[in-house]
Chains A and B, each alone.
Chain A
Amino acid sequence: MLKDKFYKTVANKRHPNESLVPTHCSYCGMQCGMNLRVDTSTNKIIGVEPRYDWPVTLGKMCPKGVTAYQQTNHDDRLLRPLIRDNPLLKGTKDGFREASWEEAYDLIVRKFQELQGQYGKDSLSVFSGVSMTNEKCYLTGKFARVALQTRYIDYNGRFCMSSAAAGFLRTFGVDRGSTLPWTDLHQTDCLFIAGSNTAECHPTSMFRVWEVQNRGGYLIVADPRETPLARRADIHLDLRPGTDLALANCMVNLLIQNGYADEEFVRAHTNGFDELAEVVKVFTPEYTSEITGVAVEKLVRAAEIYGKAPEAVVLFARGIEQQHKGTDNVSGYTNMCLVTGKIGRPKSGVATFTGQGNGQGGREHGQKSDLLPGYRKITNPKHVEEVCKVWGIKPEEMPQPGVSAYEMFELMMNKTIRGLYLLCSNPAVSAPNQHAVRAALKELDFMVCSDLYLSESCEFADVVLPTTSWSEDEGTVTNLEGRIIKINKAQEPLGESKPDWQIHVELAERLGRGQYFSHLTTACKVADEFRLASKGGYADYYGATWDKIDKQDGVFWPCKSEEDPGTPYMFLDKKFYHADGKAMLCALPYRPPAEEPCAEYPLRLTTGRVVYHYLSGNQTRRIPFLRDMCPEPYVEVHPATAQKYGIEHEEVVRLHTRRGEAFYKVKIIEAIREDTVFVPYHFGHDLSINLLTIAALDPISRMPEFKVCAAQIDKVAEKPSGRPQ
């Protein structure tokens, strides 16, 4: 166990007539340790206790974590399957009736078989998510390809992690979100954090971030807003949204120009230096300042600090990744580590703040349109053969690669896809360009949605299946470090709800594919098959047994055998995962955002999270404390901009883009650029900012550009009557 300076031995608080179940939070990639309090007479979850002995977070939790337990026995939980007989009511909450599992399964099987009989196997699709265990994510991929036999499967990581994944794969040949354990962060000398509102999105990282400064180290933050993190930064690079690649290229240029490049490291362990140096040459501080709006002195000083730092970690998140050049931004910032050789050793490296609980593990094991378990490629015949051996199907039975999450909606619109099985995701809030997405969902002939609550996306379904909360099932997730950890079951499923892996098995049996699924009678059995399926892949989990996870406080992948303790540090041997063992320095010409401001839409709109909500808010908007703290979205505006538009604090304005409009209260604050406005994205229906966002996709990661588009504010004479309260 990695114990650091913050670790204290503290006894758990024992409450009478209660037991404590150690587990992790249901929300973000930090996966903070927590103990769930279970009443021993009712066997129900009734509260939370800090898990002081979890080495990453030491009992710390954000307000979402503290109240996470309130999801399980919430009044809004779906307890029985729901069927809606009248398709005209799609897009509303109305018309659902309770049904038995048998009736729901029969209807699903009949409809799926009808559609596939008439329009072919690929007329069905699966849209999944990564706020669930590795076991469920793995089985979802197998369910799509073996039970439904469709090529169309993708997942909400396309709106979250896919640029980080694609960038790391291109640069390193492997995609592990962090090259070093989180317990190293506070020991480094410089943190360079780009496009991460760490304080609100990954709050339990913050004590380590502040400790770097407490030790006399430096904090450099690149963000269009002065977030609670940027407020204390030594250098705040307050760039225009969508200009990260220019900033990254400028940093690399200055590092090379000022002699901070580690020439020996570059020669021995990387390819592409000359091309990179050539491309970044034009990114002088002056030219970069024109593009990004960041003062020249700040650019120079930031590069000097990073260059001089004996040890440094580059961190980034959705701010740089949710752009139509997100992959380039990731490789661009990662170039800083490689050029200076600050990687492949303790206290130095690069990491992305994984957004979703299992954003790391969930993308590795076959929910992505082109991937199979163990980070294998569906286009690689050898990889297909390896997985087919575990699954018991013939390689020719493996479906072709599909398309990315947003592109699936386009195929629904043109009727290529006619049926959808949606689970663990709420794209009717979280996908960009909502008008098109909602129209596509309405266009479907048949839609099934598995959720624990009636989400906005459920409103488009014909059948809603009640699934369990995270606390009613067990399995593993992989946190933002790449550490495989164990989620434990604290109570029996509420009502008739079932874990998604069980739903997959039961549906597969009814679809006549039971021979490939019926042996999976427990989460543990799914885990055993999943470990085997990952064996030999890049993301090799074979040795990460539940027992080892328990004993070691988690296991970092790759973990190839029972004897292998796992890999907390990546690239210690300076061997990267490309065929020649070298990392790729990517030379990346700058591209502006897909939509630049113009006379009609002169503002830059960016979106993000608040500390009280998670993703589409389907869970957190139901928790009283979190709802009270942030009941509705708002538009953050600089006072100078507010003055220009003649708008006041708390006044309701119309915010609009080429794709849509919404009405928000104004929040005036100086801690944002004058040319930028910000709206949190956790809200549905008319309040969804994704009615306005643009679906410009990254050519590699297929990530939409949530983080920047052109917008305009209009004053409204009176509050529009249609605005939901």
Chain B
Amino acid sequence: MKQYLYIEMDNCIGCRSCLAACTQCGGHDERNRNYVYDVNPLVDRQTIPLMCLHCVNPACARSCPAQAIQITAEGAVLSALVEKCIGCQNCTIACPYGIPKFDEAQNLMYKCDLCYDRTKDGIPPMCASVCPTNTLQWVTEEELSMKKEQHRLGKWMSSREPFDPLEGETNVKISLPGILQGKQKLF
């Protein structure tokens, strides 16, 4: 059964539990591969997570001259293979979201692999497992279609140019801030 990482941005409280949990995934060498940003720290406490969106046609993998970035059948875009990565850092430049990280000492790129050693067995990734607010959720196809009925799901666009944004299909689905807009109140 295919499941998706689904993000409800508005729920984020900035606890960064997802970062702490990322370090705890078996294959992650205790290094986190995700980000949480303060949106406007001098004004309010809104924060948003920035996770790898696992693009259907990922710029990181396309830019890799060594075919070091593998994509699984489920659509998870993996970390660079140790034996193939040449440390050119093309991927870190190509990714419109700045996801891949680079280990200078190892001369190796590493990134979110959607906790593949968990998700391949149907176990949620660490970030979505621990997220105390349900900002990060691991949902079935059916749950996702229900979400789509409730909210207009955004596409994460990068501002290459304001009128020609880079936009692509991603395996991770996002509900942008404002999920309560238009919500019918109970009374």
Do A and B truly interact? Answer: yes
List chain A positions with a Cβ less than 8 A from chain B. Answer: 10-13, 15, 47-48, 50, 52, 59-63, 65-67, 189, 199-200, 203-207, 210-211, 213-218, 226-229, 231-232, 308-310, 611-612, 625, 629, 639, 649, 668-671
Residues of A within 8 A of B90 (CB): none
Q: In the docked arrangement, what's the CA distance between A62 and B46, Å?
A: 17
The reply to whether A63 and B20 contact each other, CB–CB distance below 8 Å, is yes
Q: In the docked arrangement, what's the CA distance between A30 and B179, Å?
A: 27
The reply to whether A671 and B123 contact each other, CB–CB distance below 8 Å, is no
Binary interface encoding of chain B residues 125-145 relative to chain A, with 1 for a CB under 8 A from any of its CBs, else 0:
010011111100000000000
The reply to whether A671 and B43 contact each other, CB–CB distance below 8 Å, is yes
A60-B131, A66-B17, A199-B15 are contacts. A228–B122 as well, Cβ < 8 Å? Answer: no
The reply to whether B20 and A66 contact each other, CB–CB distance below 8 Å, is yes
Q: In the docked arrangement, what's the CA distance between A50 and B128, Å?
A: 10
The reply to whether B21 and A66 contact each other, CB–CB distance below 8 Å, is yes
The reply to whether B132 and A231 contact each other, CB–CB distance below 8 Å, is no
A232-B10, A309-B187, A639-B42 are contacts. A203–B133 as well, Cβ < 8 Å? Answer: yes
Residues of A within 8 A of B179 (CB): 214
The reply to whether A228 and B14 contact each other, CB–CB distance below 8 Å, is yes
Residues of B within 8 A of A227 (CB): 45
Q: 6 nearest interchain CB pairs?
A: A199-B13, A203-B132, A228-B13, A66-B20, A216-B186, A63-B20
The reply to whether A13 and B118 contact each other, CB–CB distance below 8 Å, is yes
Residues of A within 8 A of B124 (CB): 10, 50, 59
Within 8 A of A (CB), among B133-187: 133-134, 179-180, 183-187
Residues of B within 8 A of A629 (CB): 16
User: Which residue on chain A has the smallest CB distance to residue B117?
Assistant: A13
User: Which residue on chain A has the smallest CB distance to residue B130?
Assistant: A61
Residues of B within 8 A of A48 (CB): 24
Q: In the docked arrangement, what's the CA distance between A48 and B20, Å?
A: 11
The reply to whether A310 and B187 contact each other, CB–CB distance below 8 Å, is yes
Binary interface encoding of chain B residues 6-18 relative to chain A, with 1 for a CB under 8 A from any of its CBs, else 0:
0000110111110
Cross-interface CB contact of A671 among B13, B19, B45, B133, cutoff 8 Å? B45
The reply to whether A216 and B17 contact each other, CB–CB distance below 8 Å, is no
A-B contact pairs, 12 of them (CB 8 A): A61-B21, A63-B17, A66-B21, A66-B24, A189-B187, A199-B15, A203-B13, A206-B13, A210-B134, A213-B183, A216-B185, A669-B41
The reply to whether B186 and A10 contact each other, CB–CB distance below 8 Å, is no
The reply to whether A308 and B187 contact each other, CB–CB distance below 8 Å, is yes
Chain A's nearest CB lies how many Å from the CB of B178?
A: 11
> Chain B binding site: helix, strand, loop or mixed by DSSP?
loop
Cross-interface CB contact of B130 among A11, A66, A206, A214, cutoff 8 Å? A66
List chain B positions with a Cβ less than 8 A from chain A. Answer: 10-11, 13-17, 19-21, 23-24, 26, 41-47, 118, 121-124, 126, 129-134, 179-180, 183-187
The reply to whether A649 and B21 contact each other, CB–CB distance below 8 Å, is no
Residues of B within 8 A of A210 (CB): 11, 133-134
Q: In the docked arrangement, what's the CA distance between A231 and B16, Å?
A: 17
Cross-interface CB contact of A625 among B11, B20, B129, B131, cutoff 8 Å? B20
Instruction: Compute the total of residue contacts between A and B using a CB distance below 8 Å.
Output: 128
Q: In the docked arrangement, what's the CA distance between A61 and B186, Å?
A: 30
Residues of B within 8 A of A11 (CB): 121-123
Cross-interface CB contact of B15 among A611, A639, A649, cutoff 8 Å? A611
Cross-interface CB contact of A226 among B21, B44, B118, cutoff 8 Å? B44
A200-B13, A227-B45 are contacts. A13–B185 as well, Cβ < 8 Å? Answer: no
Chain A's nearest CB lies how many Å from the CB of B129?
A: 4
User: Which residue on chain B has the smallest CB distance to residue A204?
Assistant: B132
Q: In the docked arrangement, what's the CA distance between A148 and B24, Å?
A: 45
The reply to whether B17 and A62 contact each other, CB–CB distance below 8 Å, is yes
Cross-interface CB contact of B45 among A62, A215, A216, A231, cutoff 8 Å? A231
The reply to whether A10 and B123 contact each other, CB–CB distance below 8 Å, is yes
A10-B123, A216-B184 are contacts. A63–B16 as well, Cβ < 8 Å? Answer: yes
Q: In the docked arrangement, what's the CA distance between A66 and B30, Å?
A: 12
Residues of A within 8 A of B10 (CB): 232
Cross-interface CB contact of B186 among A63, A217, A229, A669, cutoff 8 Å? A217
User: Which residue on chain B has the smallest CB distance to residue A60?
Assistant: B132
The reply to whether B42 and A200 contact each other, CB–CB distance below 8 Å, is no
Q: In the docked arrangement, what's the CA distance between A15 and B126, Å?
A: 14
Residues of A within 8 A of B133 (CB): 199, 203, 206-207, 210
Chain B's nearest CB lies how many Å from the CB of A546?
A: 27
Q: In the docked arrangement, what's the CA distance between A649 and B21, Å?
A: 31
The reply to whether A61 and B132 contact each other, CB–CB distance below 8 Å, is yes
Residues of B within 8 A of A226 (CB): 44-45
User: Which residue on chain A has the smallest CB distance to residue B32?
Assistant: A625
Residues of A within 8 A of B26 (CB): 13, 15
User: Which residue on chain B has the smallest CB distance to residue A199?
Assistant: B13
The reply to whether B15 and A63 contact each other, CB–CB distance below 8 Å, is yes
Residues of B within 8 A of A671 (CB): 43-45
A231-B45, A231-B46, A669-B41 are contacts. A215–B130 as well, Cβ < 8 Å? Answer: no
Q: In the docked arrangement, what's the CA distance between A62 and B129, Å?
A: 11
Chain B's nearest CB lies how many Å from the CB of A635?
A: 15
